[in-house]
Amino acid sequence: MATLYDVAKLAGVSPKTVSRVFNESHLVTEETQKLVHAAVKKLDYHPNAIAASLKRRRCNVIGFVVPYGSDFVFQDVNMMEQLRGAHDILTREGYEILISAPIRKEDALNEISRLVKHHNVDGVILYPSAGVDEIIAEFDDKKFFYVTLGMCFPGQQTNFVDISLTQSAYQATKYLIDTGHRQLGLLNRPDSFFMNTRNDLLEGYQTALQEAGIDFQTNLVYEGDYTFESGYQALLTLREACPAIDGLLCASDPMLYGVIKAMQDLGLTLGKELELISVDNLPLTRKLYPGLKAIHNPAYEQGSAAGKMIIEVLKTEAPILGVTLKSNYISHQK
């Protein structure tokens, strides 16, 4: 493997000049550059990123860390969308992405610390989960760099990109009410899942109900766990609590599929006995159920915003004010 020195020797310039050609080429005359490039080509030289990292104290790698165990991560379409958003931005800006999803959820926090402290990454994009607030505290303390995909604790001010569903939930609920539905259920995400205490779906749902003079019933809210199975169970439970249920907001599409399966098994027709609203709007859902109303969860945008934010954090080496994106209520045309 040719090194910088080999190139310098062959080109008849100093090592530093070769380095400049790769990193600050504007400081080198075109002539010298040509000389260097010729030598580079002849020797098939490629700069060693590791050596540069050691000296620069930056390795241009961002960790994408999901503290939920690998079986969960790689099957969650939303997470993949966030990853894709982050990936596209980071790649464009010259960063590599290292993914880390501990096999056992319990190892998650150690994993994150390890990655950062060992300088495998310059910073991390982090999923909210139990215990992440402690990590963050340590990071702030030691000047490690991070951005979280959502607020990790009440009052977090900086370095997060969150999504608020409140307004869309309001619109979606209002739509159901306006189209004559009165027994409206909410298949919510688990309260504890994302550590923020806000419960934005519930908020929008309640506001719309209140506005329409419909009483809020606790037993029309079911807390799912994002899975198909919990969606299936949700409908059974909700129908038991309120047989006349005629509308349902589903906080995730896998749960929505579970609900639809339960409907099939119960002989219910989508849009007839029961109207559903997807709070995910995954491509597959759009294709399988083109008529379905949905709240679009801007996961890709969240990921790319987080990517931009971590780059900015690395640049300024200072915290950055958090951002909350809004989801969109969409009523499909087709």
Partner DNA sequence: TTGAAAGCGCTAACAC
Partner DNA sequence: GTGTTAGCGCTTTCAA
- The C-alpha atoms of residue 53 and residue 59 are separated, in whole angstroms, by 5
Kindly identify the residues of this chain, within the stretch 18-37, that bind DNA according to CB under 7 A. 19-20, 22-23, 27-29, 31-32
**Binding string to a copy of itself for residues 36 to 55, with x set by CB under 8 A, is what?**
----------xxxxxx-xx-
Which among 257, 251, 259 is positioned nearest to 297, based on CA atoms? 251
Kindly identify the residues of this chain, within the stretch 81-100, that bind a copy of itself according to CB under 8 A. 81, 83-84, 87-88, 91-92, 96-100
Q: Which is nearer to a copy of itself, 12 or 291 (CB)?
A: 291
Q: Which is nearer to DNA, 56 or 114 (CB)?
A: 56
Q: Which does 86 bind (CB under 5 to 8 A by kind): a copy of itself, DNA, none?
A: none
Task: Locate all alpha helices (DSSP H) within 217-298, ordered by sequence.
Answer: 228-241, 253-266, 283-288
Identify the DSSP state of 149.
S
Give percent helix, percent strand, percent coil of the chain, each to the nearest 5: 50, 15, 35
- The C-alpha atoms of residue 330 and residue 294 are separated, in whole angstroms, by 6
Q: Judging by beta carbons within 10 Å of its beta carbon (0-12, 13-18, 19+), is residue 5 exposed, middle or buried?
A: exposed
Q: Which is nearer to a copy of itself, 123 or 204 (CB)?
A: 123
Q: Which does 102 bind (CB under 5 to 8 A by kind): a copy of itself, DNA, none?
A: a copy of itself
Which among 173, 144, 167, 171 is positioned nearest to 63, based on CA atoms? 144
Q: Which does 41 bind (CB under 5 to 8 A by kind): a copy of itself, DNA, none?
A: none
Kindly identify the residues of this chain, within the stretch 129-148, that bind a copy of itself according to CB under 8 A. none
Q: How far is the CB of 14 from DNA (least distance, A)?
A: 3
Q: Is the dihedral angle over the CA atoms 97, 103, 105, 108 positive or is it negative?
A: negative
Cβ–Cβ under 8 Å, residues 62 and 310: yes
Residues 6 or more apart from 236 whose CB is under 8 A from it? 262
Of positions 32, 257, 277, 307, contacts a copy of itself by CB under 8 A: 257
Contact between 207 and a copy of itself (CB under 8 A)?
no
Q: Which is nearer to DNA, 14 or 316 (CB)?
A: 14
Give the rounded distance of the alpha carbon of 271 from its chain centre: 31
Piece of the chain touching DNA by CB under 7 A; list 45-53, 94-102, 162-170, 303-311:
45-53
Site residues, a copy of itself (CB under 8 A): 46-51, 53-54, 59, 61, 70-71, 73-75, 77, 80-81, 83-84, 87-88, 91-92, 96-103, 114-115, 117-120, 228-229, 254, 257-258, 261, 283-284, 287-288
